[in-house]
Structures are given as C-alpha cells and as structure tokens.
Structure 1
Amino acid sequence: MRAIAVREFGGPEVLEPTEMPEPELRPGHLRLRTRLAGVNYADIHLREGSYPAPMPTPFVPGNEVLGIAEDGRRYIALSRGGGYAETAVVHRKLAFEVPEGIADHDAIALTLQGNTAWHLLFTDLRVTADDTVLVPAAAGGVGSLAVQLAKHAGAKVIAMASSEDKRRTATALGADAVVDSSTPEGLTDRILEAAGGPVSAALEMTGGDVFHATLAALTPRGRLAVFGAVTGAEGLVPITSLLAGSKAVSGFWLPNLYPSRTHLNDSMSALFAAVADGWLRPLNGPVYKLGQARQAHHDLAARLTSGKVVLDLDR
C-alpha cells in the first residue's frame, strides 16, 4: 500500500512516499480504507521529534483518519500515527461512526481538532455565558471551531488572527471582536482594547512572548489553557504574576482522554449534533494528495492555511 514514512527526524523533506505491507489487524482494532488523513501541528512536532510522546523512526505519521470499514460503514478515528497511508488500523474505542448527512471533510475536522476545542472550552476551562474568551489562530482548525462553540455557549469571543483575511473569517464565524496577532509587540494592549478589558478565559498555543501577552490580558482569577507551543519557545511561567492575579494556567493534551472513552463519546455526540443542527460549521481548508504531504506540512507551519488541512487518499 502507498504511505508516507518518516525515517529520520527533521524538516518536511524527511516525509518520504513509500510502499509498505498492509498493517496487521490486532484484537480490539478496526481496519479502515483511508479516505482522508488530517494534517495537524502534532504531526509536525512528531516529525521533528518534539512531540510529547515521540515515536521511534521509521514511522507513518497521521493521528486522525476518516475511512471505510470492511462492513462498508464510515468512521473517523484517532490514532498514534499511521494515518498517512491507504489503510489504517485503529483502536475500536477511538473510532466513531459518522452519521448520515455529515460530509467527509466536516467529519475529519471534528476528530482531533473538534474534540480538542470542545474539551479545552468545556472540560478544562469550563466556559459559560459569563466568560469573555480569547481564541488564538481563530481561522485555524481548532480556533475556528472554538470560536463557534464558545459563542454558542453564550460567551463573548475575542478572536486573534495574523492576517486581514483570517480576521474577516473569524468575524464571519461569530467572533465579537478580532485582534491582529501578527506580532507580539503590544499584543496585550490590543487584546484589552478589543475585549473592553481583561478576558476571563483564554486558549494559548504559540508560546514565548505570545504566552506572556495572553497571561497579562487575563482578569484576576482568569484561566489559561495551553495546548501547544508552535514557536517551540519554552520559558518559565511567571509565578509572581499567577499569585498576584490568582490566575490559573493548565496544560491540555487530548490523548490523556483516550484511556476512557466516556469523555470522547460525549464530545463526539455533541459535535455531530451541532453540525447536523447547522450551527457548527467546520472550516474546510486545503486538500493535498498523499504525495504532497511535504507541501502540506510546509504550508501549515508557515501559517499559509486556514481551516482543516487534509490529505485526500482518493486523489
């Protein structure tokens, strides 16, 4: 079967098209003929060797797929690698049948990024209608869904995006105000101006100066959920700032919810229902062929994409 392999850690050039045997079907698992494989920042970190749960090389990247089971039913599934291939073997407890009427591209957007947005807002931050929520990368896969989910919950939503086009997209998704996040200089002031004061809850996935600017924009007793560090910049959390403002900073990594399917069952049911009801509209991004995985990684890392980025195995 056709697949993309990483034989050594590095840049996009290490993504190599290859032929390999069909993966073995293990007990408790499901074999899917892959239609779509999601492309995420997690794949980039995995390729670079900086993922929280690194994999030894060689491996096939891709932590989410949409595919057809041997009985003809359509599933989305979360996995630990293996998605960039014509056939994927996934654990049954991390596979969810896609309801009729939900398009393939919409369903794959809900898999990793939809679940992440849902649990960041409602499991970690416990957002309610009383909150003002700051959403970064609001035209991206997680951000575009988080804007809509938070708005539907009644919160005031302040969206950040790095370009005028992306800020217009965030407004169209329902954001109450938008902030230019193209540079960290003066970012706290721009957030406070857009929000009309401090925000009570915020998502963060950039790291470095953007993390500190976001933390500074939090109200006393505000909550900040960190789910990535795109810049790769690590720094000390300013303890004095946390104490002075009674602020809370938490980390979130979706795979920590995998051992118990209960949380994912709840979020998947809610996400499917929201799309079926029409108020949640996944933002479909660019579609690449399997052999264009290098380009997909380059474009995502360079922030040239909006919405859900996928590899189409049928192309």
Structure 2
Amino acid sequence: MRRVLCREFADPERLTVVEEPDPVPGPGEVLVEVEAAAVSFVDGLIARGGYQLRPPLPFTPGSAVAGRAGGDRVLALLPSFGGFASHLLADPDRLVPVPDGVDPRIAASSAENYGTIAFALQHRVAVRPGEWVVVLGAAGAIGLAAVDCARAAGARVLAVASDEAKRAAALAAGAQAATGYDDLKTAIREHTGGGADVVVDPVGGPAAEAALRALGPGGRFCVLGFTSGEIPRLPANVVLLRNRTVVGVDWGDWSRSDPAAARDLAADVLRRIAAGELHPPEPAGLPLTGAGTATRAHAERTAVGKYVLVP
C-alpha cells in the first residue's frame, strides 16, 4: 500500500508518500481499497497543526474516502484520519453503500461538504422555499454545496465570492444572483429586497459581521468555519435586534459523537445525488503525491470546487 505521511506540523509541501505492507483486517475491521480520497480545508489546517484536533505524529490526513470493501462500493467516514492512502482499515459500521451511477470521486468529495451543508440546513436551521440564503465563499467546496442544497430546498441563493470566475461558478451551480465583498451589507439588502433569511458562512473575517447586519427579521446565521483565517467577534446587540439567531455548525464533531446519524445523513446525500436532486461538481483528481498541492489550494482559497486524491 501507499499512504501520505505527515511527520511534523508544517506546510503541506512537507507531506510525503511512503510504501508499506497492505494492512490486515482484525476483528471488527474491513479492508477498503481506496478509489478516491477527499481533500478539505480542514486537512491543511490539521497538517499545519492549526486545528483544534492534533493527532499524534506521524499520521495520515483524510477523513472520507470512496472505494471497494469486499467487492462492494462504499463510502467510508473515518473518525481518526487515515484517508490519504491506497488501502485502509475501517469500521464496517462507518461504511455507507454508494449507489450505482455515483462516481467514487463524487461520493468521496460530497461526504464532508454536502454532509456539512445537509447537517446545517436540516438539523441546525430550517430553510423554507422562497427564502433568501446568502452563501459566503460561494465558489469553494462548502460554498458550492450550500448553493446546490439551498436551491434544492426551493430557496433563492445570493452567492458571495471574490472574483468573476468564482461568481460564475456559483451561478452555474444554481445561485439566482452573485456579488463581491465590497459594501456587502448594502449588496445583500438590495439583492434580497431588504434582508436575508439565512447566511451560510464558512469564511469569517470582516464579511461575517456585514452579513449578520444584513439579516432580516428572524434571520439565521450559520457559522461553519474561518477560511479567511480571522475569527470574527459578532456583536451581541446585532443578534438581539430583529430576533436574529447565530448557530454553530460542526459536522465533524456531530459525526464522531453520533456515527449512526452521520451515516444515515451521508446515505441520504448519496441517494439524492443518484436521483439527480443534487448536482455536485466533478472534483479535480490528483495522485497521492499531489496531496500538498491540493491541501494548499484549499488553504489559500484558490480552489474552485473540490480536490480528491486518486491512489
């Protein structure tokens, strides 16, 4: 087998690929032959040591893979990393069948981003048809998933992205309108006719408070992460005014604490993809040696969509 190894918390370029004997399943384990391993923004943070979880060194990043286990097509949700590999051992209770017609690259890449958004829009807030959903960082993997899922829920989507190419990608994914970050509060209010109903924010930074102030009465603000590198200090008085709500969305913690529910949610996402209800974009594929390139692209917010590693 081959796997990516992180020997120190440093820049992604320090990741190396090593060859080892194939793992042998023990009791309660199955061997998964990996066909695609998802790469996320969080993987880069973990490799740098900048995430709240710091696994013991050395370790292999990656939390979601698609492949074959005993001939069956499966998605594996990994609680303790290890996904950037050609083979791995997994708990059978964390395997999700992949429907016919769903490419393994799509299955792997949708696990975390679509899983996060499905958790946000189905468990943390309820999005109703006709509502305005504002998505910050709308051309990233999480952002495009948010656009697609909100569209599928019957909502109208305003995509916020930093340049024309990214805004075009969000419009192609189903957003009704797109804007940049300049004078964001005014832009949101103008596009939504007075105020947004829901904000999905994986970005943080100064845009967060501007979007919060642009929420209408009863608006809901979803905190997903801080890809800008800056954690905002949201003013409580702005939350109080107009009965706004701020909710945290931590799919990773939820999936580890309730793996059965996370597995069911992932299965439903894959079912909806197979049925044509959701339309995740084709991710860019790189070999295991491209792990540093892929994690850096997500960390620097230059990626449009998602990367997967193809062993």
By the TM > 0.5 criterion, same fold? yes
Task: Please say which of residues 28-37 and 197-206 is displaced more in the overlay.
Answer: 28-37
Kindly tell me the number of residue pairs found equivalent between the two proteins: 309
Residue 186 of structure 2 is matched in structure 1 by 189
Q: Provide Cα deviations, 1:152-203, integer angstroms capped at 9, x if missing partner.
A: 211111112222122122212221111124xxx4122222222222111111
Moved more, 73-82 or 302-311: 302-311
2: distance between equivalents of 1:246 and 1:48? 39
- In structure 2, what is the Cα distance between the partners aligned to 1:105 and 1:166? 22
Deviation at 1:64, TM superposition (A): 0.9
Q: Within 2, Cα distance between the matches of 1:18 and 1:132? A: 48
Alignment of 1:156-171 (within 5 A): 156-171=156-171
Opposite residue 118 of structure 1, the aligned amino acid is A
Measured in 2, the distance between the counterparts of 1:302 and 1:261 equals 30
Q: Deviations over 1:186-239 (max 9, x none)?
A: 122222222222111111111121211221111232111111111221243311
CA contact (8 A) 2:38 2:308 kept: yes
Residue 279 of structure 1 aligns to which amino acid in structure 2? Answer: E
1:212 aligns with 209
Q: 1:202 — aligned with what?
A: 199
Say yes or no: does 1:305 pair with 2:303: yes
Give the deviation of 1:85 after TM superposition: 1.1
Residues 117-126 or 47-56, more deviating: 47-56
What is the match of residue 239 of structure 2? 242
* Greater relative contact order (Cα < 8 A, sep 6+): 2
Letter matched to residue 56 of structure 2: P
SS in structure 2 at match of 1:284: coil
Provide closer, same or farther for how the CA distance between residues 29 and 218 of structure 1 changes in structure 2, counting only shifts above 3 A: farther
Q: Please show how residues 222-233 of structure 1 align to structure 2 within 5 Å.
A: 222-233=219-230
Partners of 1:283 and 1:289 lie apart in 2 by 19
SS at match of 1:300: helix
Q: Which amino acid aligns with 2:170?
A: A
Aligned counterparts of 2:178 and 2:199: Cα–Cα separation in 1: 14
User: CA separation in 1, counterparts of 2:136 and 2:91?
Assistant: 31
Percent identical pairs in the alignment equals: 32
Q: How far is the alpha carbon of 1:40 from its aligned partner?
A: 0.1
One-letter amino acid of the counterpart of residue 279, structure 2: R
Q: In 1, Cα distance between the equivalents of 2:28 and 2:41?
A: 28
In 2, the alpha carbon distance for the partners of 1:133 and 1:240 equals: 22
Does 1:74 pair with 2:79?
Answer: no
Within 5 Å, which residues of 2 pair with 1:49-64?
49-64=49-64
- 1:96 equivalent to 2:61? Answer no
Asked if 1:145 is matched to 2:142, the reply is no
Distance change (3 Å), C-alpha of 1:179 and 1:27: farther
Contact 2:205 2:228 in 1 (8 A): yes
> 1:276 — aligned with what?
274
Structure 2 distance, partners of 1:295, 1:6, is: 14
Amino acid at match of 1:3: R
Secondary structure in structure 1 of the residue aligned to 2:179: strand
Distance in 1 (alpha carbons) for counterparts of 2:274 and 2:81: 29
* 1:148/1:59 CA distance change after superposition, 3 Å: same
Q: TM-score, normalised by structure 2?
A: 0.92
Shift of 1:265: 4.1
Residues 146, 200 of structure 2: 8 Å contact kept? no
Contact 1:285 1:306 in 2 (8 A): no
Letter paired with 1:78: L
Q: Secondary structure of the equivalent of 1:81?
A: coil
1: CA distance between counterparts of 2:260 and 2:60?
28
- Gapped regions of structure 2 (runs ≥ 5): none
Give the 3-state SS of the residue equivalent to 1:278 in structure 2.
coil
Q: Is the 8 A contact 2:38 2:64 kept in 1?
A: yes
Runs of 4+ in 1 over 4 A off after TM superposition: none
The code of the aligned residue for 1:246 comes to: N
In the alignment, structure 1 segments of 5+ residues that lack a partner are none
Instruction: Give the C-alpha shift of residue 60 in structure 1.
Output: 0.5
Q: CA offset at residue 306 of structure 1?
A: 1.7
**Cα RMSD between the aligned structures?**
1.8
* 2:179 matches 1:179: yes
Q: Tell me the TM-score normalized by structure 1.
A: 0.91
